[in-house]
Chains A and B, each alone.
Chain A
Amino acid sequence: AQSVTQLGSHVSVSEGALVLLRCNYSSSVPPYLFWYVQYPNQGLQLLLKYTSAATLVKGINGFEAEFKKSETSFHLTKPSAHMSDAAEYFCAVTRGAAGNKLTFGGGTRVLVKP
């Protein structure tokens, strides 16, 4: 069975500071990993995905994530936070061969302080 753990349900950062959101996964087979963002009253928007190519993945809005197999991690970072980054972020995993069932982490809500 797969599982995803996001450390920290809430993160507060100052505008211009580094954003670091942590995600650890467990999967019995090589996974496909995703980061999604959800703004209030909206659906999920894909930020980036890891599909076994490059371990450092660049996404939209200046976000990137690094896949570390030895640590079973896929942490999301952004060098400089912007007020528009205030949202909830979800890490998700799928095994691919099992169809498109996404298993999500609990989410991390990001607050950006001016």
Chain B
Amino acid sequence: KAGVTQTPRYLIKTRGQQVTLSCSPISGHRSVSWYQQTPGQGLQFLFEYFSETQRNKGNFPGRFSGRQFSNSRSEMNVSTLELGDSALYLCASSLGGTSGSHNEQFFGPGTRLTVL
């Protein structure tokens, strides 16, 4: 079974631009979560989508948004990029349940975003 894939793997943008990152979950997984990883703040939860609905949201400004499609693929968008948005963005998929093995999350390799 193919793992979680994220595209692109690397991205360079300038301040003020917007960016869209894509995540394809493991086949059969209905939940996709996004995390931001930076040296200063560590790993922080952005949001989770389950069956095309946002089920959880972290403490990030409204410039960060996401969506999920009917095939469970997910995109996240960051508008009006700031230097501090430079980070590794990780996507994780799971079956979507909240107990037992259903909440086990499988991570993709990440998208490294650099904002200049």
A residues in contact (CB < 8 Å) with B: 32, 34, 36, 41-46, 49, 51, 90, 92, 94, 96-107
Contact = CB atoms under 8 A, between A and B. Distances in A.
Interface of B: 4, 31, 33, 35, 42-45, 48, 50, 55-56, 58, 90, 92, 94, 96, 98-101, 103-110
B38 to A, nearest CB: 12
B45 A42 contact: no
B6 to A, nearest CB: 8
A51 B98 contact: no
Contacts of B104: 34, 46, 49
A97 B48 CA distance: 14
B40 to A, nearest CB: 10
A99 B32 CA distance: 11
A96 B94 CA distance: 12
Contacts of B43: 90, 92, 102, 104, 107
Most buried by B among A51, A90, A105: A51
